[in-house]
Structure 1
Amino acid sequence: MSTGSRLRRTLLAGLVAAAVVLPVSAAASPRIPAPAPGAVPESATLQRRYAAALTGITEAARTAADTGHGGRASRLRAMAGSGAQFLTFDGRGQGRAIEVFGDLGSADRIAVLVPGSDTNLDTYQRFREGALVLERRLRAEHPRAAVVAWLGYDTPGTVSTTVLTAARADRAAAELGPFLSRLGGLAPAGARVSLLCHSYGSVVCGRTRTGPEVTDMALYGSPGAGAASASDLPTTARVWAGRGAGDWIGGVPHVRLGRVGFGTDPVDPAFGARVFATGSAGHSDYLKPGTESLAGLARIVLGAEAPHA
C-alpha cells in the first residue's frame, strides 16, 4: 500500500472517530462565561502584569461559580494559588494563560513551552506540572533560569478534524511571534530564549517567525513541523528534534496531502534537525522527573550540547 493510501485511510479513521467523539466532548465541555480581561499598558512592570492577571483569574472563578460551573471555578482558584505569576489570562472560550516560573526579570536562560492538543483551562494543571518540573531541573544547574508556559492559542482536540491541518497553528504563530519579541523587553538584555514545542505545538513553532533572541527550537513528540526540512523554518535558531521510544506519534504518517498533514518527520535525518536523546518517553512523558528527555531539553535551554540519539 502506498504512503498516500495509508494516510488517506488514517485520516478517514480519524474523521469517523471525530464524528462520534466530538458531539460528546462538546456536551461535556460547555462554553463557560468569563469577563474580558482588563487592559494592561505595554509599559507595565512584571509585578503589575502578574497582579492584573490574578485579578482576572479571580473574577473568572467568581463568574464560573455564579453560573453553576463549580469545577471550572475550583480549577481557576487552584491556578491563582500562592506565588502564581501570570503575564496574561483570558477565561473566555477555551481560555488563554501565560504563566512564568522563576524570576523572569533576572533570567538569562528562558524556556518557552508551547503545548499541543487538548490543552485548555480545564486541563491546565498537567501543562503547569511539566513547566514546574522543567524549572526545578534548570535552576538546579543554573539559578538564573525561568520557564514560561505559553497557552496563547486555542489548541485542537486530539480527536478532531482541526488537528489534521495547520489552520490553528497559523493563528497561534501570529500570536507567538510578537509575544517572543515582547518577552525581550521583560527579561535582561541578551537572555537566551529556547522554544520547547510539544506535539501540535511543534506545528505552531514551525510556522512562527522568530528573531535573534530565540537561540534554540526543540520539536518533540511532533507530527511534523509543516516543512520539508529544518532550513525551511522561519528561524535562525538551532533546531532540535526528539521522539521517545514509547511515543505513539511515531506511527503517524509524516506526509502532507494538500492542506492535510505536516510533512517530514523532524527526527528523520532528511529533515536536518539535531536529534537529541529522549529514552523511552511516551507522548505525555517528556517532562517527567528523572527522564532522559527532561535532561536533554534542559541541556538545550542551558546552551549545552544535548546528548544525541
Structure 2
Amino acid sequence: MVPLSGAARPEIPAPAPVALAPVTGATLDEAYAANRANAGEASRMADAHGDRARAATDRAMAAPSRRFLAFDGRGSGRTAEVLGDLAHADRVAVLVPGSDTSLDTYDRFRATATHLWTALDRDPRVAVVAWLGYETPDTVSTTVATSGRAEQAAPHLREFIRQLRGIVGEKARLSLLCHSYGSVVCGRAAAGLDVDDIALVGSPGTGADTVAGLHTRARVWAARGSDDWVGEVPHVRADLFGTTVGFGTDPLSPSFGARVFAAGDGGHSDYFAPGSASLTNLARIVLGATSEVTRA
C-alpha cells in the first residue's frame, strides 16, 4: 500500500512508514509483518523519547495478532487495520472516523471496528478495515466546521479504496461507513469511488446538496440517533471571510435523497454500540441484506 503520511506532528519520533510494493492477496501476510515491525520500532523510539503512552500504543499494535495494511507512528499517526481474512473476503466494510481520532485515541476507534466485526458474526467471508488515513480535526476547533481536512483526506481515501479493490477483486462488495466529520471526508471522496454502499452516521453534512451531487454509483444511506447533538447543528453552508463554513443539506432531509435508516435513541458516539439499532442496520448494509434494513 502507498504509505500514509502522519508527519504533521513531528515532535513524536517514529520511523518513516515502510515502502511496500502493491499489496495483493498473496502478499498480505508480508505487509502485515512489515507494518508490525514498524510499529515495534515506533514503540522503541517513543519510549526513548519519554512518551510512555504512545510507546504502549505502538507496542500493542506490534502484537502478532494485529494486521495493518499501513502504519505510520509519526505525529498524530495513520493506520489501516484489518479485522478478518481480507484475502478471502467478499464483503468488506471500511470505517472512516470523525474528529479527535488519532493514535492517542485509537483504542476507541478500534472498538467501533471490533463491535461491527462482532455484529457480523466474525464471518470468514467478511472483513472490516479501520481506516485512520487523515489528520482529523479537533472537536473544539475552527477546522471541524470547514472542509479543509476533508479535502486533504479525500485523495488518500480514493487511493486506499483503489488499492483495496486490487486486493479483494471487483466482485467483492465494499461498504464505506462514515461517522461524523468522516462523512465530510466520504462526501469529498465519493465521486467515482468504486464502492457499493456509503453510510453516513451522525453526519453534519457532506458538502453536497443531494445524493446526485456526490456523483457516486453507490447506494447512499444516512442515520442519526435521536440523542445525537449533531441534529441541533444548523445544516447551512456560508462563506465567511473567504472560508466556507458548514456542510450544507442535512443527509436525513428528504431533499437530499439518501436512504434513511433507523438508529435508535443513541447519542453521537453510540452508532457502533453493541445491540444498537444502528449497528444492526450497518451490519445488514455491509452484508448486502438491504431489504432487512429498518427505515426511520
TM-score (norm 1): 0.87
Contact (CA 8 Å) 2:80, 2:131: kept in 1 or not? yes
Which of residues 46, 68, 72 is equivalent to 1:64? 46
The 2-side partners of 1:124 and 1:100 are apart by 14
Contact (CA 8 Å) 2:196, 2:219: kept in 1 or not? yes
1:231 match: 212
Contact (CA 8 Å) 2:133, 2:156: kept in 1 or not? yes
Contact (CA 8 Å) 1:224, 1:262: kept in 2 or not? yes
SS at the partner of 2:104? coil
The 2-side partners of 1:85 and 1:161 are apart by 34
Which of residues 181, 187, 192 is equivalent to 2:173? 192
How far off its partner does 1:139 sit?
3.1
Contact (CA 8 Å) 1:33, 1:63: kept in 2 or not? yes
2:109 match: 127
1:70-81 aligned within 5 A:
70-81=52-63
Deviations 1:20-65 (A, max 9, x none): xxxxxxxxx9931111112111156111110111011101110000
1:77-156 aligned within 5 A:
77-139=59-121, 142-156=123-137
The 2-side partners of 1:235 and 1:246 are apart by 30
How far off its partner does 1:100 sit?
0.3
2:266 match: 281
SS at the partner of 1:286? coil
Which of residues 271, 283, 289 is equivalent to 1:304? 289
> Percent identity of the aligned residues?
59
Contact (CA 8 Å) 1:169, 1:204: kept in 2 or not? yes
SS at the partner of 1:184? helix
1:225-264 aligned within 5 A:
225-258=206-239, 259-264=244-249
Q: Name the larger-Rg structure.
A: 1
1:38 match: 18
2:199 match: 218
SS at the partner of 1:239? strand
Contact (CA 8 Å) 2:161, 2:193: kept in 1 or not? no
The 2-side partners of 1:210 and 1:112 are apart by 17
Deviations 1:173-196 (A, max 9, x none): 010011101101111440000000
Q: Which runs of 4+ in 1 moved over 4 A?
A: none
Which of residues 122, 142, 145 is equivalent to 1:161? 142
SS at the partner of 1:271? coil
Contact (CA 8 Å) 2:116, 2:272: kept in 1 or not? yes
The 2-side partners of 1:79 and 1:33 are apart by 16
SS at the partner of 1:123? helix
Greater shift in the superposed pair: 262-271 or 212-221: 212-221
Contact (CA 8 Å) 2:81, 2:129: kept in 1 or not? yes
Contact (CA 8 Å) 2:58, 2:73: kept in 1 or not? no
How far off its partner does 1:211 sit?
4.6
- How many pairs does the alignment contain? 280
How far off its partner does 1:79 sit?
2.4
| Change in CA separation of 1:43 and 1:123 when aligned onto 2, cut-off 3 Å | closer
SS at the partner of 1:207? helix
| Change in CA separation of 1:128 and 1:135 when aligned onto 2, cut-off 3 Å | same
1:293 match: 278
Contact (CA 8 Å) 2:23, 2:167: kept in 1 or not? no
Query: How large is the RMSD of aligned CA atoms in angstroms?
Result: 1.5
Contact (CA 8 Å) 2:43, 2:56: kept in 1 or not? yes
Greater shift in the superposed pair: 81-90 or 211-220: 211-220
